Amino acid sequence: MFLIGIIATIGATQAGAEGVPLEFLGVSIATITTDSILWLVLLVLVVFVGKSALAIYLSRKLAFHIAAVETRNAREISEYLLHGSLDDAKRFSKAEFQFAVTGSTSAAFSGLLNAMATIVSEGFLLVVISIAFFLVDPVAAFFAIAYFVGIALTIQGFIGRVLKRAGRDGTEGMIGSTNVISDSLDSFRELAVMGKQDFYIGRLAQARAQLARSSATFAFMGGMPRYIIETALIVGVVALVAQQFLTNGLATGVVVLGVFLTGGMRIMASLLPLQNSFVQIKVYLEQANLAQSLLRETGRKTTSPSTESTVDLVELHRDGLPVFIDKADFAYPGEVHNALDQVSIEVPSGSFAAIIGPSGAGKTTLVDLLLGLVMPDQGTVSIGPATPLELRYLAPGLISYVPQKPGMVSGTIAENIAIGHEARDIDRDRLRRVIEAANLAEFIDSLPEGADTSVGKQVNSLSGGQIQRIGLARALYTEPRLLIMDEATSALDAGSEAFISASLRKLHGHVTVVVIAHRLSTVQHADNVYVMEDGRVTANGDFKTLTRTVPMVAQYVKLMAIDE
């Protein structure tokens, strides 16, 4: 820049108004020859080519380094939420979870760090230009720099606030639209029957409108600094021309003007990306809040147990795992009353236990306790020689869980059963065994590609009973020593339920089974049945004994017409 300014001004005049050699920065400018101009041009060319090559190299290194940082932190957030407690995961909707790992993490790293890199590089160039200005004419330099700084601050003060709001609205619109889509697809049948599609269509349109207005604001306001800076440069040039010719005369004024014009053009080229970077930082800060708050939590909290353990892993795989809960209390965050109150349960190794009770009695909370997804506020929970959380880390798969509505993933039936395994790593013999144990053989054999039929994207084509049986096969695939089922047969027909009950009885002695059920036909053959009410265990014993001694169970039997 500085050399271009010298060349331009020297080309305009080689002598002052009095005919004597022109002085610049206290140095007399020699008479220009063709060779000297050529060498100056070559020097400028080398400097600019070198600068561009270095910029390309550094930009590539920086971009890929930032991408690696973003990937690492997105994984850290995913591990924190998926390996963490259920309470942590429940704080966020699906859309918020998705945004935290994708958009928020991208804004926190790629967005903010790239913007900061631009500020550093362009800011350094502006400092160099400012020094050159002060060397040429300190007074003019002071006013020029104050002029440009004032313009930049004015732009930031007005446009920055508007774009900060736009960033916040964009984040809310993105999360809102994803939530509405997820909710409407999950409730598709109910919405169609009740004619409530327009309600969710309106919500989706509202969220998309908020996002679209945010994008429009960003596009409009983001481009405005260019026009303001261009206009300001022209005004500044006119003022500088007038000042120089009125105070310094023609010859010196041309030299100073040439340097300032050249520098001014370069300042404008730097101010635009610099200004945009400041604007982007305001937007990205709003979008990055969720990822940054989660990353702060990961530094303070961990749910991973110690990797040092004296547990004999070989012994764990031999027989069913005993379950022991002693006076366990648990309350959800913000709740005054306990969801579980002094609960004590003992399930011997290889036995079949059932837990029954009305809705809201605390049965599912008890399951979460057994799975190690929540920790008791008081009391102890152990499965064999370890806590549930320790066992999950020491021997994944020894505890299996079948929920009322198992989750399905995109892929084949085989990949849904052997979830978390690559297709090439699936044990086909074991897969067939669990398919038969879950009474899925007839259904799968009727499919064109058998267990390799893709159903993940067409999950709605599966019946509730088929999904529950896939969930059971999934739980059995890991060859567990503790099987926990939470209303896992509620969608089965009578024949399938009887088949599954027979399969569970075959596990007796090798696998400990804990079943949560409302359908008493599922629990009739349990070795021990626990009755829960209001978060407490109020009775336990075999099923026939409870029908005689517990009025609630007797009433259940009467309502469901179950023979004793």
* Secondary structure class of 528 (helix, strand, coil): strand
Q: Where is average pLDDT lowest: 23-27, 189-193, 221-225, 425-429?
A: 23-27
CA–CA separation, 371 vs 364, rounded Å? 10
472: in domain? no
Task: Say whether both 97 and 238 belong to one domain.
Answer: yes
Distances (CA, A) of 145 to 233, 236, 264: 12, 11, 10
CA angle, 391 then 481 then 429, to 5°: 115
**Least confident piece of the model among 80-94, 120-134, 255-269, 303-317:** 303-317
Q: Measure the CA–CA gap between 301 and 219, rounded to whole angstroms.
A: 40
Residue 500 in any domain: the answer is: yes
Both tokens assigned to 535: 């978060």
Contact 72, 65 (CB under 8 A): no
Residue 308 lies inside a defined structural domain of this protein: no
pLDDT at 50: 82
* 433 is a domain residue: no
Q: Is the pLDDT of residue 184 over 70?
A: yes
- Summarised one tens digit per residue, pLDDT across range 103-132 is 888 888 888 888 888 888 777 777 877 777
Q: What is the mean pLDDT of residues 447-452?
A: 86
Please give the DSSP secondary-structure letter assigned to residue 381: E
323 CB-near residues (< 8 Å, 6+ apart): 345, 346, 347, 353, 370, 382, 383, 482, 512, 514
What pLDDT sits at residue 242? 72
Q: Are 269 and 345 found together in one domain?
A: no
The domain of 354 spans 313-405+481-560
70 lies in some domain: no
Query: What three-state secondary structure class fits 383?
Result: strand
> CA-to-CA distance for 339 and 220, rounded, in angstroms?
52
Q: pLDDT tens, 240-262?
A: 767 666 665 545 555 566 666 66
pLDDT of residue 19: 46
* Integer Cα distance of 144 and 132 in angstroms: 12
Rounded CA gap, 408 and 468, in Å? 10
Instruction: Check whether residue 390 and residue 322 sit in a common domain.
Output: yes
**Going by DSSP bridges, is the β-strand pair 482-486/512-516 parallel, antiparallel, or unpaired?**
parallel
Q: Is the pLDDT of residue 512 over 80?
A: yes
For residues 44 and 144, state if they share a domain: no
Let me know if residue 175 belongs to a domain: yes
pLDDT in tens, 344-368: 999 999 899 999 888 888 888 999 9
| Residue range 42-69, pLDDT digits in tens | 876 787 788 778 878 877 887 888 888 8
Residues 150 and 215 in one domain: yes
Q: Is 320 contained in some domain?
A: yes
- Residue 305 has a pLDDT of 55
Query: Residue 406: pLDDT above 70?
Result: yes
CA distances from 311 to 99, 314, 323 (A): 39, 9, 16
Looking at the fold, whether 159 and 276 belong to one and the same domain comes out as yes
CATH number at residue 504: 3.40.50.300
325-348 average pLDDT score: 89
Contact 430, 399 (CB under 8 A): no
Same domain assignment for residues 318 and 194: no
Return the closest-CA partner of residue 160 out of 328, 340, 286. Answer: 286
How many domains does the chain contain in total?
3
The confidence band for 298, taking pLDDT boundaries of 50, 70 and 90, is confident
531 membership: H or E segment, kind and range: strand 528-533
Give pLDDT, residue 254: 59
Alpha-carbon distance of 340 to 376, in angstroms, equals 9
Whether residues 247 and 124 fall in one domain: yes
Same domain, yes or no: 230 and 359: no
Is 105 found in the same domain as 183?
Answer: yes
Residue 30 has pLDDT above 50, yes or no: yes
Give the C-alpha separation, 456 to 462, whole Å.
10
Per-residue pLDDT, 348: 92
Are 100 and 221 found together in one domain? yes
In a domain, 443, yes or no: no
Between the two ends of the chain, the Cα-to-Cα distance in Å is 97
Amino acid identity, position 245: F
Same domain, 383 and 500: yes
pLDDT band at 136 (very low <50, low <70, confident <90, very high): low
pTM over 0.85: no
Q: Which residue has the higher pLDDT, 398 or 165?
A: 398
- Angle at CA 526, nearest 5°, toward 525 and 531? 125
